Structure 1
C-alpha cells in the first residue's frame, strides 16, 4: 500500500504542506531532456546521458520512500535507435551499465522491457539476462526499464502473440476475431500482471506521451514538468505526487 508522507516546502514567501502518495501504485516516467541539459552546459551528449542515468537512481530512491510499488522508466524509444552511431553507441553502453547497476543493488525487482530484437546483440543479451534473473525478496519495488520501447510496437506484438496463441489452440481466423478479448491482449503486454500506471510524469516541458504505455495509460493522470531530466529535484517530484493526490479520479464513472 502506498504510504502517506507530509512534505513541507519552504520559500521566502511561504511554507506549503503537501500530503503526498495516496493510492499511487504505479508511476510512469518519460525520461526527457538529458541532451538539452548537456548542450546548455557545453558538455557532450554522453555526459548528459550519464547525468540522466545517475538521476534515475536518485528518483527511484524517492519512489521507494513514497511507497510506490511499480515504476516504469522510459529511457530509450524505438525511434531513438535511429540516432547517429556516435551518439547511440555510448548511450547503449550507459543503459547497459544502468540496468546492471540497478539489478546489482539487490533492492528492486528490475525488469527491462521492450523489443530486444531491435538492439545490438550485447545490449539485448544484458537486457534478457537481467529480465530473467532471480528476483529479490517479495514486496520489493518493481522497476521496469523501457529500452527499445514503443507503445504502438508493444500493442502490435501483444495482438500478434494473442492471435498466435489462439491459432495454436485450433482457432481459425473467424474464430479468432470472435474470441479475442481485452484480457488476451493485456496478458501479452510487457507489464502483464502489474497495475496500470496511475500517474505519468514527463520532464523537459514537452507535453505529449509519444506513445508511452498506449494501452495501460488510458486512464493515467498526466504531469508535465519543465525541468530537464538531470535537473529534476525532490521538490519537482513531490509537486507531481501532490498534484496527483489532489485530483478526483472517477475512472469514467
Structure 2
C-alpha cells in the first residue's frame, strides 16, 4: 500500500507541473472529535492532540509544494464560548505545547495570530505572542497564521469599530466616514491587513460550509471540501486540491 501511495503521490506531483499554484492556502482543520470517536477513543480530546500534531506534516507538505503562506483555523470564537471547558483547556494546552513549540523549532515559518486573544487563557496568549516575536525576523521564511478564538464576522466588526474610533479621534463625522468609506478602509483594519487573501481554502470532515472562517478574505477564493477528518488528511488530499485549483485557473484564463 505504501508503494502504491508513493506512486500515486508522484503522479499527482507531475500533474501539477505547469499548473497555476496558490501562494496562500487556508485550512479549516475540522473533524478531530469525530475522528477520535471513529478510531475508538472515548476521550475526544485525543483527536485534538492528533490534529495539532498533524499540522506539522501539513506545513511540510506546503513547503515542498512551494506554498509560502498558510492560515490554519485552530479554534473558533464560538468553540471557545460553547465547548466543554475541559476540552477547551486541553486545546489551549496543545496550542502552547505543540503548535507554538513547533513554530519555534521549524525555521521555515514566521508566525502570525488572528483572533480575539482576550478569549484565550493568559498563558496561551503569552505563548503565542512570544512565538510571534521569536519568529518575526526569520529571513526567507513563509507566513503561518494561527486563527484561534477567531470569528470572521467578529473580525469585520472589530475592523469597523477601529475605523470609527480612528475617525472620531480625528474629528470626522459619521456622515463623512460613510461618504468616503472604501473596501481598503475596512481591509487595513483587519487583524492581518498585510497578508494576501487566500487563493485556496480547504475544509476537511465533509462539511460543505465556510462557517465563520475568513469571511472577508475568501470572497474570491477557490473552496475545496474534503471528506476526510483532519487527523486523517493526507498529502495526496492536498495535492488533489492543488490540482483542482490549478485546472480551474487554467479554464478561467482560456
Q: Same fold (TM over 0.5)?
A: yes
TM-score, length-normalised on structure 1? 0.89
Q: Which residue of 2 aligns with 1:4?
A: none
**1:76, distance to aligned residue in structure 2 (A):** 0.2
- Using the alignment, how far apart are the partners of 1:182 and 1:139 within structure 2? 30
Q: Which residue of 2 aligns with 1:94?
A: 94
Unaligned 5+ segments in structure 2 are 1-5
Match of 1:22 among 1, 20, 23: 20
Q: 1:10 to 1:158 in 2, by over 3 A?
A: closer
Could you report, residue by residue, the CA deviation over 1:62-81 in whole angstroms, capped at 9, with x for unpaired residues? 11111111100001001111
**1:125, distance to aligned residue in structure 2 (A):** 2.1
Q: Is the 8 A contact 2:111 2:135 kept in 1?
A: no
- Using the alignment, how far apart are the partners of 2:16 and 2:135 within structure 1? 36
Could you report, residue by residue, the CA deviation over 1:209-248 in whole angstroms, capped at 9, with x for unpaired residues? 0021100100000001111101011111100111101003
Q: Which residue of 2 aligns with 1:147?
A: 148
Which structure has the highest helix share of the two? 2
Which structure has the highest strand share of the two? 1
Runs of 4+ aligned structure 1 residues displaced above 6 Å come to none
Single out whichever of 119-128 and 157-166 deviates more from structure 2. 119-128
Q: Which residue of 2 aligns with 1:189?
A: 190
User: Which secondary structure does the structure 1 equivalent of 2:218 belong to?
Assistant: coil
Q: 1:102 to 1:166 in 2, by over 3 A?
A: farther
TM-score, length-normalised on structure 2? 0.89
Cα RMSD (Å):
2.2
Could you report, residue by residue, the CA deviation over 1:83-129 in whole angstroms, capped at 9, with x for unpaired residues? 11121111110112233213312331011211001112222222333
Q: Which has the higher contact order (CA 8 A, sep 6+)?
A: 2
Say whether 1:110 aligns with 2:111: yes
**1:134, distance to aligned residue in structure 2 (A):** 4.7
